[in-house]
Structure 1
Amino acid sequence: MDALKARTNATLSHAAVMTPAGPVHAPLPIRDGCIDAAVASWAYRVDLRDHLIFPGLINAHEHLQVNAIPPLRGHAPFANSYAWIDAFQAHFEDPAVIAALQWPKALRLRHGALKNVLAGTTCVAHHDPWHPALDADDFPVTLLRDYGWSYAPGWPGYGPPLQPSFAATPAGRPWLIHLAEGTDEVAGNELAQLDQLGCLAAHSVLIHGVGLREADIERVLASGAAVIWCPASNLALLGRTLDPRRLAAAGRLALGSDSRLSGARDLLDELVGVLDRYGLSPQQLLELVTLRAAEILRLPAHGHLAPGAPADLVIVEDQGGDPVRSLIGIRRSQLRAVVRDGLPRIADPDFAEWFAIAGVEAVPVLLDGKPKLLARDLAEPALMALEPGLEPASPSREQLPVFASGWH
């Protein structure tokens, strides 16, 4: 993708750019794949009147390689995640699971990234062993790197051992662990265990936290740690999720979709599921997948659209009223465009000229029945075959109108 960045110099005009203080009507310049401070007279101009531009979303917890594996049905709720793991062992004998695991892991990792891009997510925290495929120059999303992790206190046989991995993680980098993923005493005791081991600190990032009591949450906040909330997965497996209000108010909560093995289809669907529930405003929900996620994961260049940040964007139509609801509460097919490093990755067909100017070959597809243009490197047949709702479409004159923009 780096070779194309120099061809992405553009100015997005007449749109409202979402900032922490609210929408600002000002041009958004892009230079060499990043947000620029000044508008260049020679840049390609994209007229986005009646649109809103948001930062690319951050998925703070994901298992990229398992999104094509059929979920376990009919056994929930479990008392904790370890009981679910035990029950899942027999599920490996299911022919559909066997077939899904026949796909190469590198392809399944890429599919997990494609799932995220289609829903406006451009940055992902992958919580599993690293794989060489994640280092590919054209990997579809930006990944959290240089972090520490252990899997869970009660499952020591998978991933790095708990105390050594914590000790090896610098205080300036996040250390991730599944914790208190359950409703029983086992889950409820895990925070105290973690603290006794000396692994509860300001860079500890606790995934799920369903079993945290009020006093536990205060203990988390006192340590400076944070929690990643995955409500769809929690409700599917455990029948309950945590109360997010105290952590969100303190800025120590982010949102993750986990994976389709247990959670929502994507991060947008996760947001739809919690909108107008749990006492969080649309603005707070937006922050969970932008600014707060960036702070918790130590990703200072992400989650905002300030000069110098990567030009990772989600573009939507302005629906009127609360501008945040134009993004929070919609489905992936309703996004107008998703941009990474200044390059359009998927967009409605009237953005065809932007693809062409940026040097990105676009392929016509249908996403949940709606015509879209998808970057060629995301349209590999094997990759598309793994993604329900995404299929090739034949180009037509109606699908490829000229977008009202151009060189100025």
Structure 2
Amino acid sequence: MDVSLCRAVSITPEASSRAPLPIRGGRIGASLAARAYRVDLRDHLIFPGLINAHEHLHLNTVPPLNAGAPFPNSYAWIAAFQAHFDDPAVIAALRVPKALRLRHGALKNLLAGATCVAHHDPWHAALDATNFPVALLRDFGWSYALGWPGYGPPAAQSFAATPADRPWLIHLAEGTDAIAQAELAELDHLGCLAPNSVLVHGVGLRERDVDRVIASGAAVVWCPGSNRALLGRSLDPRRLCAAGRLALGSDSRLSGARDLLDEMRGVAERGELAPAHLLGLVTTQAARILRLLSRGSLAPGAPADLVIVEDRGGEARSLVEIERSRIRAVVRDGVPRIADPDFAEWFAATGTAAVPVMLDGKPKLLAAPLAEPALIALEPGLERVADRSERDVGRQARSH
């Protein structure tokens, strides 16, 4: 099915094009067939699907740990969390099958425009499902953290087994104390600091450590919401961003913001980065750092993963400063997955059944494969219209 869209936002030169954006076979095309289905997107902007560079997909329904003072490092938070496992709400959340929790984490990302995610945990068979809601980073190496060797492969062994052209991920310097500050030197001593090293969090990196990261060609994934919640502060992103060595992640709702859009909006509101630079962290820079060379842009041959919003003036701000309910459509492989009701013909043209839902009080259409009742039930703010109508009828009956 060929589709013609416009107006597309080009991330690398900061400009936009009003020319038609052709989609052929689920990818951005160089040309378009004469009989293509056409979507009129005047007064709209089309962005590449966002890349979430760090997520724990299966943890988004687990209630966060209520703590007073910030923790000195993530290991102290992990130790404190052990008692939290006895909380009935945590027990109930973890009883949900992991395969369903993984799909829910993916759906959470998709609703906020993230169509590709780096999941930083052991691989699970559910991630290989053909109808998984988002694309995933694959063929990468990882270790969990230097100070928690019992979970995931050992750092040196995993790094050595990872090809130099594939990313290698590790939580590093997730803290504000001497333990966190010492981790970069330890990683370098192990021989694991290289251009394909992707260091998640990096709060404990000092100025000279940032110099070392940039000189090595490594990169950092910044998760400011999680950092502020657990540690009381985050890193200064400016030098790493300017060097092209920074991407953005949401971690999970267990510690971070609701989704990647909330992370972006928080950064913009605090004035930590300009919207145009922030947009690069979830598109071109993330794609380069994670070696996802076909993603993060609207170049011919790239997957037709798109985020469509109304043009509110100022291209980056049109996406950076909105909530998920104001996204007009999120598209994967040229097919709408969630969209406003006036895009119903686009669903039909691609042969995709759509289910009416409400997202944060706004009517939407959700692709039927994503509308499993058990999956929708896990996502606050998302409900099927039929389910809502039945509840309204029940309330009215009880009131009489």
TM-score normalised to structure 2 length: 0.95
Q: 2 CA distance for matches of 1:313 and 1:149?
A: 28
Where do 5+ consecutive residues of structure 1 fail to align? 1-6, 396-408
Q: 1 CA distance for matches of 2:224 and 2:272?
A: 14
Aligned length: 386
1:378 matched to 2:370: yes
* Paired residues of 1:245 and 1:278 also in contact (CA < 8 A): no
Partner of residue 263, structure 2: 270
Partner of residue 307, structure 2: 314
Q: Which shifted more, 272-281 or 359-368?
A: 272-281
Q: 1 CA distance for matches of 2:52 and 2:9?
A: 21
Q: Which has the higher helix share?
A: 2
Partner of residue 402, structure 1: none
1:75 to partner: Cα distance = 3.7
- 1:138-178 C-alpha deviation (Å, 9 max, x unpaired): 11100000000000000000001111000000000000000
- The aligned amino acid for 2:300 is P
**Identity of paired residues, percent?**
74
- The aligned amino acid for 1:334 is R
Q: 2 CA distance for matches of 1:333 and 1:359?
A: 24
Partner of residue 38, structure 1: 31
- The aligned amino acid for 1:369 is G
- 1:62-110 C-alpha deviation (Å, 9 max, x unpaired): 0000000000012440000000000000000000000001110000000
* Paired residues of 1:118 and 1:346 also in contact (CA < 8 A): yes
Q: Which shifted more, 75-84 or 108-117?
A: 75-84
* Paired residues of 1:244 and 1:278 also in contact (CA < 8 A): no
1:74 matched to 2:67: yes
Q: Which of 322, 341, 348 matches 2:340?
A: 348
Partner of residue 167, structure 1: 160
Partner of residue 357, structure 1: 349
* Paired residues of 1:17 and 1:26 also in contact (CA < 8 A): no
1:83 matched to 2:76: yes
Q: 2 CA distance for matches of 1:316 and 1:18?
A: 14
* SS across alignment from 2:331: strand
- The aligned amino acid for 1:267 is L
1:158 matched to 2:151: yes
1:24 to partner: Cα distance = 1.3
- 1:101-139 C-alpha deviation (Å, 9 max, x unpaired): 111000000000000000000000000000000000111
* Paired residues of 1:11 and 1:40 also in contact (CA < 8 A): no
* Paired residues of 2:62 and 2:93 also in contact (CA < 8 A): yes
Partner of residue 228, structure 2: 235
- The aligned amino acid for 1:64 is L
TM-score normalised to structure 1 length: 0.93
Distance 1:350 1:40, change over 3 A: same
* SS across alignment from 2:286: helix
Partner of residue 139, structure 1: 132
- 1:30-86 C-alpha deviation (Å, 9 max, x unpaired): 000000001221110000010000000000000000000000012440000000000
- The aligned amino acid for 2:351 is G
Partner of residue 367, structure 1: 359
1:218 to partner: Cα distance = 0.2
Q: 2 CA distance for matches of 1:110 and 1:363?
A: 18
Q: 2 CA distance for matches of 1:125 and 1:145?
A: 8
1:277 to partner: Cα distance = 3.0
Q: 2 CA distance for matches of 1:272 and 1:124?
A: 19
Partner of residue 260, structure 1: 253
- The aligned amino acid for 2:306 is L
* Paired residues of 1:12 and 1:45 also in contact (CA < 8 A): yes
Q: 2 CA distance for matches of 1:63 and 1:26?
A: 38
Partner of residue 220, structure 1: 213
Runs of 4+ in 1 over 6 A off after TM superposition: none
Q: Which of 122, 134, 138 matches 1:129?
A: 122
- 1:324-363 C-alpha deviation (Å, 9 max, x unpaired): 1000110000000000000100000000000011111100
- The aligned amino acid for 2:255 is S
* SS across alignment from 1:159: coil
* SS across alignment from 1:327: helix
* Paired residues of 1:18 and 1:52 also in contact (CA < 8 A): no
Give me the CA root mean square deviation. 1.0
1:333 matched to 2:325: yes
* SS across alignment from 1:345: strand
Q: 1 CA distance for matches of 2:136 and 2:261?
A: 18
Q: Which of 180, 201, 212 matches 2:173?
A: 180
* Paired residues of 2:142 and 2:153 also in contact (CA < 8 A): yes
Partner of residue 18, structure 1: 10
Where do 5+ consecutive residues of structure 2 fail to align? 388-400
Distance 1:48 1:274, change over 3 A: same
* SS across alignment from 1:309: coil
Q: Which shifted more, 16-25 or 172-181?
A: 16-25
Q: 2 CA distance for matches of 1:258 and 1:74?
A: 18
